[in-house]
C-alpha cells in the first residue's frame, strides 16, 4: 500500500456537516491501490472494560482521478460526537490509518483516532435551497438593451454601431431589461446576475463613486424597484455585484485623501504608502492590480466595514434583492466576509452570497462566508475538452473529479458554473465559432451539478474576444440570432426544470470506462437515474450502458 | 517521483502569514524521493508579452518523518499578493506542481498556479509575545496549600491525611498560593494556570454554579485581587480556567429549566431533547460526556453568548488576569470562540487564549480563535519514548516532526507543552517511579519549542495514578520532596531563562542520524546554536557533532 498517498484531515473536504446530525467523511488513497475501506467510528465517551467501543461500516469508492481513489460515507453520530479511523484493505495487507499514523492492528484507545468533536447546526454549510434550481443569466447592463434614450450618457453610440471599447457607451438601461423580461422567461432562466449598477464613470461600473446611488445612465431607484418587482412576479431572482475590494477614483473618501493627504479623516480607509497620493504605473497606495483608479479599500478598518455593511443591508432592505456577487472577493479579508454574511443573512435569511474567486476556494466555503464561488475551474476544464480540445474525455473526467473532490458535496451542489463572462472571451469564439461544440458545452453545463449561468447573448451565438470584445451590444434582430442554438438552450433549460435530478436533487457520478472517448455521468437518487453521454470527438463512439444501470427501463429524454 | 505523495494547499500548515509582509510556504513529498525544490512565484498582475513574470527560489528540506520530507521557504511579495508553484527535481525527472496538478514543463499562465491572494495583517496568527518566554505552573487550587482554615468547606480532611477521592476536600485556598509564591519564584516559573476557581460544589470546580463568583472555599474576590497583584509584582502571569462547554447542575438557569421545563426562559440555554428533564445514565439533554451534572450550554444562543462573553470580560477588567484556558474547547462552536477572541482582546490586547483540545487542532489555530492548545500529542510522544519506552529515538523524532509539521511555525512557538495534568497520571508514576527518566523528560520539555508547563508537585517527585490519584495534596515537607529532582528542574528553568534560544528565539531542527539511538536537536539563529542531546536508552551512546555545527566553539551549558 502506498502509505504516503493516503490523506485525511477532519475538516474542509474530508469531514463536513451535511445536516444537523449527519457528517460526510472522505479519504483519498493512491489510485487502484486499496481494495476496500471500513470506517471505524464511535462516541469518544463510550468505553467498556477499558476499551473504546466502536463500530465499522464500509466506505464507498466514490470517484477516481488521475492519481487518487476517493472513498466516502455518511455517518449520524447519536450524540453528535465522533472519533474515527480507517481500516484499509489491500491485497495481503490491512492497515489502520488514524490521526497518529498507520498501525498494523486495530487500537482500542480512541485518543489515537481522528476527531470531529461536535456537530453544531450553526456550522452547517447552508446555501439557500432555491439556488440549486436556479438557471442564471448574467447581464452587463450597459450592453443588454437601451429603452430610454433620455438618460443616455454623453457620447452614446447607436446600439451596436461600433465595436465595444474600454470607454464607449451604448446606453443600456433598466427599462431595456424590463422590456425583455418575457424573452428571458421564454428562454427559461429564473435568476439574473447584474454586473455593477452603482454610480460610476465607466461603462463596466467596477469603479464605484457612490455605493448608495444607482448610476443615472441605468435609471432611478424607482426603476430598480420596478425591475425587481417585475422579475419577482415572474419568479426571477436578482443578484447585484458588490465591489468592496476597491472603490473608484472619484469615491468621495478617496478624493478627500487625495486633497488632504494624511490629515484626511479617510486616510485609513485605504492603504497609502506615503503622501501626497499619486497614481501612474506604480501608485503610492494599494490598488486592485495596478489600476490607479481602483484604490484598495481597507476592510479591516471598522469605519469602512460599517459603511460597506450598511451598503450591503440597504439594497436588500430597500430593493429586496436576492443575492450579492462579490467582486475580487479573494483579496478581501475573511473576517470582513464573516461579518458580511451575518449582516446580510439577518436582513434576508435566504440571500445567496457568491464570491469571485478563480482558484481553489475552500477557505471561503466553510459555511461562514460564501455560498458559492464562480466556478472557473469548471470553465477551464470544459474549454480544454471542447474549445481548445487539448484533453481527452478521460482527462476531463479526471480533472473535473479533482475539482469536485476538493469540496464537500453540499458545496458543489450550489457552485456557480459558467462557461464565459464579462471577463473572458465568449464561448463561441473560444470554440472557433463551431456551434456544434458550443451545443455540447451547454449540454454539459445544464446537466451538471451546480447552478448554471448563461452570459447574455451567448445563447444566440454572439462572438467576441477578451474584454472589451466580449461586451458587445446584445443582438436583438432575430435574423442575426442563431435560433437553432437558442432552441437547444431552451430545451436544456426546460429539461433541467422538469427533471429534478438534473437540478441537483440526487448524487453525481462519472461513468468512466476503459477505452472509451466518451464523457458520461449519471445523476441518481435511489433507483432513479439520469444518464448523460457526451461525445467530444468528431467520430462515432460506442458507449456501453454500465452494469449499475442494467435492468432499468431507459427513456431518451432528449428525443422523446 | 511519487506524485500521489506530494501535498500542498494554500492554507493551514502549508501557507501561513509570519508577519505583515511575509508568507511561509511548505510542501511535503515522499521521503527521500525528491532532490531539490524551487518555488516559482510572482505577482498575479505582472505580465510581459502575454507571459506571466515569475522568479524562482530554492526551498529548504526542513524536516523529515517516517513517510515524508517537508520543504519550506519564506517569501515577501512586494504587493502582498502571490501566485506560486513548485518545480520538483528528482533523478532524471523535473515536474511542475500547481493547483491544477503536475506538468512536465513550466507554464506561463499564472491561473494554473496556487494562489495566496492577499496578506492581511488582521489574519496574522499573533499570540502574545510574552508566552514563548513563559514557564507555566499548573495549580489545582483545592490541593496546593491550605492557609486559611476559617473558610474550609464542610468535612475538610487534614492536609494529606487521605488519598484524594472524587468527593473529598482538603481546603486548599488562595492564601495558600500567596504564602508559597516565593517557592514558585525560586523554582523559576513565571506563569500560573489555575484550574477553575468559580463557585461550584465539587473539589475540581468544573461544574460551575455561578461564573461571577469565586468559590468561598478559596477566598473572596479581594483575595483574588491580592493574589493577582502579588503575582504581577513578581512577574508572574495568571491564567484562569473557563468552563463554557457546560455548566454545573446547580447553575441557576439550569435549575430553572429543571423546575419549569419548556416554559423556562432558559430552556434554549441548553440542549433539552424532551421535558421534564431527567438525569441518569442517559440524560434527556445534552451533557459533557454522559455526565448528568454537566449540562451542555448552547453557545449558539445569543443570550448564552452574551452571558459568557460578559464573564470573559469581567475577570479581565476587574481582576487583570492574563490568560484564559478553555475547558473542552473543541466541543464548542468556532463562531463562539471567534467572538470570544474579539471580546477578550478588546479588554486586554496581549491576553493569552489556550484551548483544551487533545487532538489535531488546526481549525482552532488559524489566528481567529486560540493562541495555543494543550499539546497532548507532545505528551504522548514523550511518554512513548521515555515512560512506556515503546518507541525508539528515531521514531520519536519522526512522530514529533509529524506534529510540528502539522502546524505553522509561529503556532508551534507558543504551543502549551505539558507532560501531565489533573487529567492524566503523574509523570513519575508514568515512568514507573524512575526519576532518571523523569529528569530526561524535563530536559526535553524545557529545551523544546513551545511554552512548557509543570503540574504542581511534579517538580518534587509526587506520584499518583489517573484522576483522582493525580490530585494529591502538595507535599510541603522538604524531607518528602525529591530535592535532587527539584534542583534539576530549577536548573532547566534557569537555563531556559538565560539562553533565549531555548525560549523560542530561533529555529528548531532535529538532528537525525543514521544508526543513532540519540534524540538530538538544535535551536539556532544565524550562527548561534544550542544543541540538545538526549540518550533515552540505558547504555552509552555516541553522537557525532553534525556537519552543520562543525568549526563552532562548543560550550557545555549544563556543566559549565
Catalytic annotation present for A327: yes
CA torsion A451→A455→A459→A461, rounded to 10°?
Answer: -140
- What's the confidence (pLDDT) of residue B364? 98
B360–A114 CB contact, under 8 Å? yes
Where do we find the cell 445523476? A523
Q: Which of 3.20.20.80, 3.40.1260.10, 3.20.20.70, 3.90.50.10 is the CATH number of A376-507?
A: 3.20.20.80
A286–B80 CB contact, under 8 Å? yes
A399–B121 CB contact, under 8 Å? no
- What's the confidence (pLDDT) of residue B72? 98
Mean pLDDT value across residues A275-292:
95
Q: How far is A152 from chain B (nearest CA, A)?
A: 34
* A3-123 and A376-507: identical CATH topology: no
- What's the confidence (pLDDT) of residue A414? 94
Q: How far is B160 from chain A (nearest CA, A)?
A: 29
Say yes or no: B99 contacts chain A, CB-CB below 8 A: yes
Say yes or no: A111 contacts chain B, CB-CB below 8 A: yes
Where do we find the cell 487532538? B359
Question: Chain A contacts of B270, Cβ < 8 Å?
Answer: none
B99–A9 CB contact, under 8 Å? no
Enumerate the active-site residues of B: 327, 356
Say yes or no: B388 contacts chain A, CB-CB below 8 A: no
Name the class of domain B3-123: mainly beta
CATH topology of domain B248-298: Oligo-1,6-glucosidase; domain 2 (3.90.400)
Number of Cβ pairs < 8 A linking chain A and chain B: 115
pLDDT grade, residue A403 (50/70/90)?
very high
- What's the confidence (pLDDT) of residue B135? 98
Q: How far apart are CA B182 and CA B179, in angstroms?
A: 8
Catalytic annotation present for A356: yes
Minimal Cβ distance to A2: which of B4, B360, B380: B4
Say yes or no: A3 contacts chain B, CB-CB below 8 A: yes
Say yes or no: B21 contacts chain A, CB-CB below 8 A: no
Element holding A89 (H helix, E strand): strand A82-90
* Residue (of B379, B432, B408) closest to A111 by Cα position: B379
Residues 119-148 of A with CB under 8 A from B: 120-123
B117–A5 CB contact, under 8 Å? no
Q: How far apart are CA A158 and CA A174, in angstroms?
A: 17
Say yes or no: B183 contacts chain A, CB-CB below 8 A: no
B290–A331 CB contact, under 8 Å? no
Pairing outcome for strands B82-90 and B36-42:
antiparallel
Q: What is the pLDDT of residues B461-515, one digit of tens each?
A: 999 999 999 999 999 999 999 999 999 999 999 999 999 999 888 899 999 877 7
Per-residue pLDDT of chain B (560 residues; tens, 9 = 90+): 999 999 999 999 999 999 989 999 999 999 999 999 999 999 999 999 999 999 999 999 999 999 999 999 999 999 999 999 999 999 999 999 999 999 999 999 999 999 999 999 999 999 999 999 999 999 999 999 999 999 999 999 999 999 999 999 999 999 999 999 999 999 999 999 999 999 999 999 999 999 999 999 999 999 999 999 999 999 999 999 999 999 999 999 999 999 999 999 999 999 999 999 999 888 999 999 999 999 999 999 999 999 999 999 999 999 999 999 999 999 999 999 999 999 999 999 999 999 999 999 999 999 999 999 999 999 999 999 999 999 999 999 999 999 999 999 999 999 999 999 999 999 999 999 999 999 999 999 999 999 999 999 999 999 999 999 999 999 999 999 999 999 999 999 999 999 999 988 889 999 987 778 999 999 999 889 999 999 999 999 999 888 888 888 889 999 87
Say yes or no: B395 contacts chain A, CB-CB below 8 A: no
Say yes or no: A300 contacts chain B, CB-CB below 8 A: yes
Q: How far is B481 from chain A (nearest CA, A)?
A: 33
- Domain spans in chain B, listed from the N-terminal domain onward: 3-123, 248-298, 507-549
Residue B465 backbone dihedrals phi, psi, to 5 degrees: -80, -160
Say yes or no: A558 contacts chain B, CB-CB below 8 A: no
- What's the confidence (pLDDT) of residue A515? 76
Pairing outcome for strands B451-455 and B416-418:
parallel
Residue burial A361-398, b: 16+ Cβ < 10 Å; e: rest: bbbbbbbbbbbbbbbbbbbbbbbbbbbebebbbbebbb
- What's the confidence (pLDDT) of residue B326? 98
B118–A4 CB contact, under 8 Å? no
Say yes or no: B359 contacts chain A, CB-CB below 8 A: yes
Q: What is the mean pLDDT of chain A?
A: 96
Q: On the CB side of A521, how many CA atoms lie within 13 Å of its CA?
A: 26
Contact (Cβ atoms closer than 8 angstroms) between residue A105 and residue B350: no
For A336, which residue in chain B has the nearest alpha carbon?
Answer: B122
- What's the confidence (pLDDT) of residue A545? 87
- What's the confidence (pLDDT) of residue A551? 85
B122–A300 CB contact, under 8 Å? yes
For A12, which residue in chain B has the nearest alpha carbon?
Answer: B363
Sign of CA dihedral A39, A44, A46, A50: positive
Q: What are residue B26's DSSP bridge partners?
A: B72
Q: What is the pLDDT of residues A195-217, one digit of tens each?
A: 999 999 999 999 999 999 999 99
A289–B45 CB contact, under 8 Å? yes
B300–A66 CB contact, under 8 Å? no
- What's the confidence (pLDDT) of residue A548? 84
Test mutation, B12, B16, B30, B117, chain A, max A CBs within 10 A = B117
Say yes or no: A345 contacts chain B, CB-CB below 8 A: no
Q: On the CB side of A511, how many CA atoms lie within 13 Å of its CA?
A: 21
Q: What is the pLDDT of residues A471-522, one digit of tens each?
A: 999 999 999 999 999 999 999 999 999 999 998 888 999 998 777 899 999 9
Question: Chain B contacts of A67, Cβ < 8 Å?
Answer: 3-4
Q: What is the DSSP letter of A205?
A: -
A101–B399 CB contact, under 8 Å? yes
pLDDT grade, residue A343 (50/70/90)?
very high
For B358, which residue in chain A has the nearest alpha carbon?
Answer: A111
B4–A67 CB contact, under 8 Å? yes
Q: What is the pLDDT of residues A417-448, one digit of tens each?
A: 999 999 999 999 999 999 999 999 999 999 99
Tell me what percent of the residues of chain B surpass a pLDDT of 90: 95
Q: What is the pLDDT of residues A16-70, one digit of tens each?
A: 999 989 999 999 999 999 999 999 999 999 999 999 999 999 999 999 999 999 9
Q: How far apart are CA A417 and CA A453, in angstroms?
A: 6
Residue burial B351-379, b: 16+ Cβ < 10 Å; e: rest: bbbbbbbbbbbbbbbbbbbbbbbbbbbbb
Q: How far is A318 from chain B (nearest CA, A)?
A: 27
Say yes or no: B358 contacts chain A, CB-CB below 8 A: yes
Q: What is the pLDDT of residues A89-116, one digit of tens each?
A: 999 999 999 999 999 999 999 999 999 9
* Alpha helices (H) in B302-434, listed in sequence order: 302-319, 334-347, 376-382, 393-405, 409-412, 427-430
Residue burial A81-110, b: 16+ Cβ < 10 Å; e: rest: bbbbbbbbebeeeebbbbbbbeeeeebeeb
Q: How far is A294 from chain B (nearest CA, A)?
A: 14
Question: Chain A contacts of B123, Cβ < 8 Å?
Answer: 333-335
Say yes or no: A14 contacts chain B, CB-CB below 8 A: no
- What's the confidence (pLDDT) of residue B155? 94
Cell numbers that stand for A542 in this block: 460506442
For B364, which residue in chain A has the nearest alpha carbon?
Answer: A11
Q: How far apart are CA A312 and CA B11, in angstroms?
A: 28
For B112, which residue in chain A has the nearest alpha carbon?
Answer: A359
Structure ipTM over 0.90, yes or no? yes
B68–A4 CB contact, under 8 Å? yes
Test mutation, B5, B52, B81, chain A, max A CBs within 10 A = B5
Mean pLDDT value across residues A386-390:
97
Question: Chain A contacts of B286, Cβ < 8 Å?
Answer: 79-80
Q: How far is B404 from chain A (nearest CA, A)?
A: 13
Mean pLDDT value across residues A218-223:
98
B331–A123 CB contact, under 8 Å? no
CATH number of A135-245+303-374: 3.20.20.80
Q: What is the pLDDT of residues A143-153, one digit of tens each?
A: 999 999 999 99
A45–B362 CB contact, under 8 Å? no
Test mutation, B3, B4, B126, B399, chain A, max A CBs within 10 A = B4
Amino acid at each position: 500500500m502506498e502509505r504516503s498517498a493516503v490523506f485525511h484531515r477532519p475538516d474542509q473536504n474530508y469531514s463536513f456537516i451535511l445536516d444537523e446530525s449527519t457528517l460526510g467523511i472522505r479519504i483519498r488513497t493512491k489510485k487502484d491501490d486499496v481494495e476496500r475501506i471500513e470506517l471505524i467510528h464511535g462516541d469518544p465517551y463510550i468505553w467498556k472494560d477499558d476499551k473504546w467501543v466502536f463500530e465499522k461500516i464500509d466506505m464507498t469508492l466514490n470517484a477516481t482521478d488521475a492519481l487518487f481513489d476517493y472513498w466516502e460515507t455518511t455517518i449520524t453520530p447519536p450524540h453528535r460526537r465522533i472519533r474515527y479511523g480507517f481500516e484499509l484493505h489491500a491485497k495481503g495487507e490491512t492497515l489502520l490509518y488514524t490521526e497518529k499514523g498507520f498501525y498494523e492492528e486495530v487500537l482500542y484507545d480512541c485518543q489515537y483516532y481522528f476527531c470531529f468533536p461536535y456537530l453544531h447546526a450553526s456550522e452547517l454549510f447552508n446555501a439557500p435551497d432555491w439556488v440549486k434550481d436556479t438557471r442564471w443569466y448574467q447581464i452587463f447592463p450597459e450592453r443588454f438593451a437601451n429603452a430610454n434614450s433620455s438618460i443616455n450618457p454623453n457620447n452614446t453610440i447607436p446600439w451596436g454601431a461600433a465595436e465595444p471599447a474600454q470607454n464607449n457607451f451604448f446606453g443600456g438601461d433598466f427599462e431595456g431589461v424590463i422590456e425583455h423580461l418575457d424573452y428571458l422567461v421564454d428562454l427559461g432562466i429564473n435568476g439574473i446576475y447584474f454586473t455593477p449598477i452603482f454610480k460610476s464613470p465607466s461603462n463596466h461600473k467596477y469603479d464605484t463613486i457612490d455605493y448608495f446611488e444607482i448610476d443615472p445612465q441605468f435609471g432611478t431607484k424607482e426603476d430598480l424597484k420596478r425591475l425587481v418587482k417585475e422579475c419577482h412576479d415572474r419568479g426571477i431572482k436578482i443578484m447585484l455585484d458588490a465591489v468592496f475590494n476597491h472603490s473608484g477614483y472619484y469615491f468621495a473618501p478617496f478624493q478627500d485623501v487625495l486633497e488632504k493627504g494624511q490629515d484626511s479623516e479617510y486616510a485609513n480607509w485605504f492603504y497609502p504608502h506615503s503622501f501626497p497620493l499619486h497614481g501612474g504605473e506604480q501608485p503610492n497606495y494599494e490598488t486592485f492590480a495596478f489600476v490607479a483608479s481602483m484604490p484598495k479599500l481597507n476592510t479591516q478598518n471598522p469605519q469602512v466595514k460599517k459603511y460597506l455593511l450598511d451598503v450591503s443591508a440597504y439594497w436588500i432592505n430597500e430593493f429586496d434583492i436576492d443575492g450579492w456577487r462579490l467582486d475580487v472577493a479573494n483579496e478581501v479579508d475573511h473576517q470582513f466576509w464573516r461579518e458580511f454574511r451575518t449582516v446580510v443573512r439577518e436582513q434576508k435569511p435566504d440571500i445567496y452570497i457568491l464570491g469571485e474567486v478563480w482558484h481553489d476556494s475552500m477557505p471561503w466555503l466553510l459555511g461562514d462566508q460564501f455560498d458559492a464561488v464562480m466556478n472557473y475551474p469548471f470553465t477551464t476544464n470544459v474549454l480544454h475538452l471542447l474549445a481548445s480540445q487539448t484533453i481527452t474525455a478521460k482527462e476531463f473526467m479526471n480533472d473535473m473529479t479533482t475539482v469536485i473532490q476538493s469540496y464537500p458535496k453540499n458545496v458543489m451542489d450550489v457552485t456557480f458554473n459558467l462557461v464565459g463572462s464579462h471577463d473572458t472571451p465568449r464561448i463561441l469564439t473560444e470554440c472557433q465559432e463551431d456551434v456544434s461544440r458550443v451545443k455540447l458545452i451547454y449540454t454539459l453545463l445544464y446537466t451538471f451539478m451546480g447552478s448554471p449561468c448563461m452570459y447574455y447573448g451567448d445563447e444566440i451565438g454572439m462572438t467576441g474576444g477578451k474584454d472589451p470584445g466580449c461586451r458587445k451590444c446584445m443582438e436583438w434582430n432575430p435574423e442575426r440570432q442563431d435560433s437553432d442554438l437558442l432552441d437547444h438552450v431552451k430545451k436544456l433549460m426546460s429539461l433541467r426544470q422538469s427533471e429534478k435530478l438534473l437540478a441537483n436533487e440526487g448524487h453525481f457520478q462519472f461513468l468512466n470506462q476503459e477505452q472509451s472517448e466518451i464523457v458520461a455521468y449519471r445523476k441518481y437518487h435511489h433507483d432513479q437515474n439520469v444518464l448523460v453521454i457526451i461525445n467530444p470527438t468528431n467520430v462515432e463512439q460506442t458507449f456501453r450502458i454500465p452494469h449499475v444501470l442494467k435492468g432499468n427501463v431507459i427513456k431518451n429524454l432528449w428525443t422523446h
